[in-house]
Structure 1
Amino acid sequence: MRWTIKPKPQQDEIDQLAQALHVDGLVAQLLLQRGISSYEEAKKFFRPQLSHLHDPFLMKDMDLAVARIEKAIAHNENILVYGDYDVDGTTSVALLSSYLLSYYPNVATYIPDRYAEGYGVSFKGIDFADDNGFSLIVALDCGVKAIDKVTYAKEKGIDFIICDHHRPGDHIPDAVAVLDPKRGDCTYPYDELCGCGVGFKLVQALGSRQGHTIHDLIPYLDLVATAIGADIVPITGENRVLAYYGLQVINTNPRAGFKAIIHQIKKTVLTITDVVFVIAPRINAAGRMKHGQHAVNLLTETDLAQAETFAAQIEKFNEDRRGLDKEITQEALEQIQENKEEERFTSVVYKASWHKGVIGIVASRLTETYYRPTLVFTKSGEKLAASARSVKGFDVYNALQGCADCIEQFGGHKYAAGLTLQESQYEEFKARFEKVVAETIDPNLLIPEISVDAQIDFRDISPKLMRIIKQFAPFGPGNMTPVFMAENLKDTGYAKGVGEDGAHLKLAATQNGIGPIGGIGFNMGDKLSIVANRQPFSAVFSLDENEWQGNVSLQMKLKDIQ
């Protein structure tokens, strides 16, 4: 791994901020690296307030969206709340539908089938609306590029409101309102909301007309926080406020669906990391293995006993997903090894029987193993479908554009994309993709990078530092957990491999007579020899608390050692 130390801010800036906040230089440095340079900014960062949320009517078309929904309610129209089958989509649908149903009955939900309809707004979904007397569709987490679909709906007398956060194309659909902070003509102050975040702004705007304050809407923030975590949007600005209060709801008064999941996992306090790795995969599993509507049913259910039944079904989907994911990953790794493709710049694998719902996860696993742009293909009807994943710093979407003449269609963004092509094009595409990546990638990007916030001495590590770092949460893009580097460490002789086959490394290190401080390195058991026999080593780690038999001690959560 490459260790890259972030530039240290100017010493006078560090001293000024440290003095203003009455903190030490290390904390001031960490804050400056996050763009926080004054007392006021620090206060906003450490004490997020609901009053920091922006006026929803600052978003372009918000007034039009609210007016159209109010008109629908006044004329007793049927409203269809439509969203994608992933976590952001299903939480968005649960959010808006449950809010509208709290005061208006003629509301239903629609999640497209991953296999029959694919991603986003579908003709089949519009036909469903037409057949069932819906005159207004509100699309969430999708729709900003659905120009032909919105036109088709209009011809059938169905209006569209779009709430999306993806980058629009050259033209905006001819909808009643298109709420998307990434629109070039939208001056909303924060453009990193997820789809559920945009949905929440619509609820906030509707609520202001119903006499609901932001405090009345807090119970919906568990959904928003889950979508923020799962969709990996920056946890800065407005997202930080929404995630902060949403986590409080999850931990103190979650909706029945979340309560049912939490009962299963038997965890008392959930962090944003738990939301990403524990709650989100379960919600996602419904759309991957069966149908996304199962997730909406769980998230909108108010009866706990019924929610427990739904959660048990979804847990089964998640277990099936895990089994398939493991099995297909193993087959894909064997395919790479059998074809002696370890020296390539890309990993491209295909098997007709692989489950379409898990190929994205498998692509991520292969990227972790070989650390290079990766595509996993499976058969989908008459065509092949693939999920693409990339490495930090390399734009896989641009690379796919370089292979466009071998592809039927593709979409996505810098680090993740999806595509379809004819089976006859597969070998040509595989060769072309390898060529494009080999010619355009900086070889350094094929070595995983660890970004280090600051070099630290053991004498600087204290319970007080840990207490302050915990207040930096919730962590995520734009505000990652601080990562430190320490040099000239020596193990006390305690180091050993733990877990199945000694897969993990456990050690206790001293530095110049200070310590010991414990350390755990997951999947680092093979590095035991580096620290054996009291050899000096350097470590990159985040700080963590280890609780054992009621005692809490600080430990290093190791990321790499050299």
Structure 2
Amino acid sequence: MRWTIKPKPKQEDINALADALKVDELVAQLLLQRGISTYDEAKHFFRPQLSDLHDPFLMKDMDIAVHRIEEAIANGENILVYGDYDVDGTTAVALMSSYLLSYYPNVATYIPDRYDEGYGVSFKGIDFAEDNGFSLIIALDCGVKAIDKIAYAQQKGIDFIICDHHRPGTILPSAVAVLDPKREDCSYPYDELCGCGVGFKLIQALGSRRGETIDDVIYYLDLVATAIGADIVPITGENRILAFYGLQVINQQPRIGFKAIIDQINKKELTITDVVFIIAPRINAAGRMKHGQHAVNLLTETDMGQALKFAAEIEKFNADRKGLDKSITEEALVQIKENGEIEGFTSVVYHDSWHKGVIGIVASRLIETYYRPTLVFTKSGDKLAASARSVKGFDVYNALEGCADYIEQFGGHKYAAGLTLLEEQYHNFKHQFEKVVKETIEPHLLIPEITIDSKITLKQITPKLMRILKQFAPFGPGNMSPVFIAENVADTGYAKGVGANGAHLKVAVVQQDSYKIDGIGFNLGDKLPLVTGRKPFDVVFSIDENEWQGTVSLQLKIRDIK
């Protein structure tokens, strides 16, 4: 691991903010490192307010989208709410359809089949709309690059409203309205919304025209918070407000579908991390293993008995997904070794029988072993389909643009993308991708980095500090949980490996014999020799609470040791 300590802000800025907020210097430093330098900015950060959400009509085409939906309702048209099969797409479809159905009956949902139709707007989906008399499709978390599909719908007299957050191409599709804060000509103040977030702005706008306030749509924020966490968008600005209140909804009055999932796990209060690792994989498992519509059914269900059935079904999908991703990861690791590609700049693997629903997860798993841009391919119809994942600081989307000659279709983000190509182009693509990455990646990006906020001493770790750090949540990109380094600490003789085969490291450390604190390092069991015999070491960690037999104590959640 590369340890990178963030630059310390100027001492006079730290002093000024500490004085203004009546906090100690460490807290002021952490805030300044997050771009918070005034009392007012700190107030907005610690006390997010729904009133600080932006006016949805600041988004380009919002007025047109609202007008077209109002017109459809006035004319009794059938509206199809269409979305991608992942968490962002299915939550967005659940949000938009349940909101519209609360006051208008002619609304149905459509999630494309991952295997039959692939990502985004499909010709099959448009044919379905035509066959069933839908004259307006609202597409969520997809559509901004579906030029030919939208043109096809236009020929059939079907209008499209697009709510997307992916980077548009040079040409926008000929939809009635394209809501995407990443549009070059859109001056909306915050461009990091997820697809469900853009959908929320549309229902906020629709509601405002019906005399509703933000309090009337707060109920939908559990879906938005889940999408924000799962889609790994920055938890800054407007997303921070949406996630903060969405978590409150999840913990205080979750929709029936979420309650059915939460009731199966023993957790009192869910954090954004719990949403990412407990709720999101289950919602995703539906689209991966069976069909994304199962997730929409669960998220829109209002009968608890039925929701529990749906949740049990999704639990089974998730268990199947776990087994598959484990076995495929093992096969892929063998392939990398057998092909003699351990020393390369990329990992590109392919097998025609790998399950398309888990190749994205497998790509992420491979990065845990070989830290470099990774693609996992499988057979999809008469083509090959892949999921791409990247390492911190490297734009895999741009790298794929450098391989466009060999690709049929691709889309995505800086760190995650999907693509299809013809089987005969696989080796050409693989060679070109390695070449592009080798020429453009900075070598240090191939070593995993831990970004450290500050050096501290163990005696600075107090219940008061923990109370303040908890108010930094929800954590995520742009506002990660603070990470610290303590130098020259030693174990008290308690260190041991715990868990299966001693996989995890348990320690009790002191610094200058003054203050003892326990620590746990998950998957750091191999570091045990570094800490035994009271040898001094440096430790990088976040601060955590450990509850044991009703007693809560502070502990180090260890990230690395040197």
What TM-score do the two structures reach when normalised by structure 2?
Answer: 0.99
- Residue 335 of structure 1: aligned partner: 335
Q: Report the 3-state secondary structure (helix = DSSP H, G, I; strand = E; otherwise coil) of the residue aligned with 1:264.
A: coil
Q: Could you tell me how far apart the structure 1 residues matched to 2:370 and 2:208 are? A: 51
Q: CA deviation at 1:272?
A: 0.1
Q: Could you tell me how far apart the structure 2 residues matched to 1:387 and 1:210 are? A: 42
Q: CA deviation at 1:260?
A: 0.3
Q: CA deviation at 1:350?
A: 1.2
- Residue 227 of structure 1: aligned partner: 227
- Residue 422 of structure 2: aligned partner: 422
Q: CA deviation at 1:268?
A: 1.3
- Residue 71 of structure 1: aligned partner: 71
After TM superposition, the structure 1 stretch with the greater mean CA deviation from structure 2, 64-73 or 292-301, is: 64-73
Quick check: 2:489–2:537 contact (8 Å CA) kept in 1? yes
After TM superposition, the structure 1 stretch with the greater mean CA deviation from structure 2, 262-271 or 482-491, is: 262-271
Q: Could you tell me how far apart the structure 2 residues matched to 1:179 and 1:442 are? A: 35
Quick check: 2:166–2:412 contact (8 Å CA) kept in 1? no
The 5-angstrom pairing of residues 279-294 of structure 1 reads: 279-294=279-294
Q: Report the 3-state secondary structure (helix = DSSP H, G, I; strand = E; otherwise coil) of the residue aligned with 1:267.
A: coil
Q: CA deviation at 1:407?
A: 2.5
- Residue 481 of structure 1: aligned partner: 481
CA deviations 1:62-120 (Å, max 9, x no partner) are: 11111111111111111111111010000000001001101110000001111111111
- Residue 119 of structure 1: aligned partner: 119
The 5-angstrom pairing of residues 189-204 of structure 1 reads: 189-204=189-204
Quick check: 2:163–2:180 contact (8 Å CA) kept in 1? yes
Q: CA deviation at 1:399?
A: 2.2
- Residue 81 of structure 1: aligned partner: 81
Structure 1 segments, 4+ long, off by >3 Å, are: none
After TM superposition, the structure 1 stretch with the greater mean CA deviation from structure 2, 61-70 or 272-281, is: 61-70
CA deviations 1:264-290 (Å, max 9, x no partner) are: 122111000000011000000000111
Q: Could you tell me how far apart the structure 2 residues matched to 1:180 and 1:345 are? A: 34
Paired AA for residue 330 in structure 1: E
CA RMSD of aligned residues (A): 1.0
Q: CA deviation at 1:454?
A: 0.4
Q: CA deviation at 1:427?
A: 2.4
Quick check: 2:167–2:413 contact (8 Å CA) kept in 1? no
- Residue 46 of structure 1: aligned partner: 46
Structure 2 residue 272 is matched with structure 1 residue 272: yes
The 5-angstrom pairing of residues 300-311 of structure 1 reads: 300-311=300-311
Gaps of 5+ in 1: none
Paired AA for residue 441 in structure 1: I
- Residue 501 of structure 2: aligned partner: 501
After TM superposition, the structure 1 stretch with the greater mean CA deviation from structure 2, 521-530 or 412-421, is: 412-421
The 5-angstrom pairing of residues 4-15 of structure 1 reads: 4-15=4-15
What TM-score do the two structures reach when normalised by structure 1?
Answer: 0.99
Paired AA for residue 283 in structure 2: I
Paired AA for residue 8 in structure 1: K
After TM superposition, the structure 1 stretch with the greater mean CA deviation from structure 2, 407-416 or 167-176, is: 407-416
Structure 2 residue 318 is matched with structure 1 residue 318: yes
Q: Could you tell me how far apart the structure 2 residues matched to 1:51 and 1:400 are? A: 40
The 5-angstrom pairing of residues 324-473 of structure 1 reads: 324-473=324-473
- Residue 214 of structure 1: aligned partner: 214
- Residue 103 of structure 1: aligned partner: 103
- Residue 536 of structure 1: aligned partner: 536
Q: CA deviation at 1:433?
A: 2.2
The 5-angstrom pairing of residues 144-183 of structure 1 reads: 144-183=144-183
Q: Could you tell me how far apart the structure 1 residues matched to 2:24 and 2:17 are? A: 9
Q: CA deviation at 1:355?
A: 0.3
Identical aligned pairs, as a percentage? 79
Q: CA deviation at 1:403?
A: 2.5
Quick check: 2:232–2:476 contact (8 Å CA) kept in 1? yes
Q: Could you tell me how far apart the structure 2 residues matched to 1:26 and 1:453 are? A: 10
Paired AA for residue 204 in structure 2: Q
Paired AA for residue 389 in structure 2: R
Q: Report the 3-state secondary structure (helix = DSSP H, G, I; strand = E; otherwise coil) of the residue aligned with 1:291.
A: coil
CA deviations 1:108-155 (Å, max 9, x no partner) are: 000111111111111111111111001111111111111221121111
- Residue 28 of structure 1: aligned partner: 28
Quick check: 2:321–2:358 contact (8 Å CA) kept in 1? yes
Q: Report the 3-state secondary structure (helix = DSSP H, G, I; strand = E; otherwise coil) of the residue aligned with 2:510.
A: strand
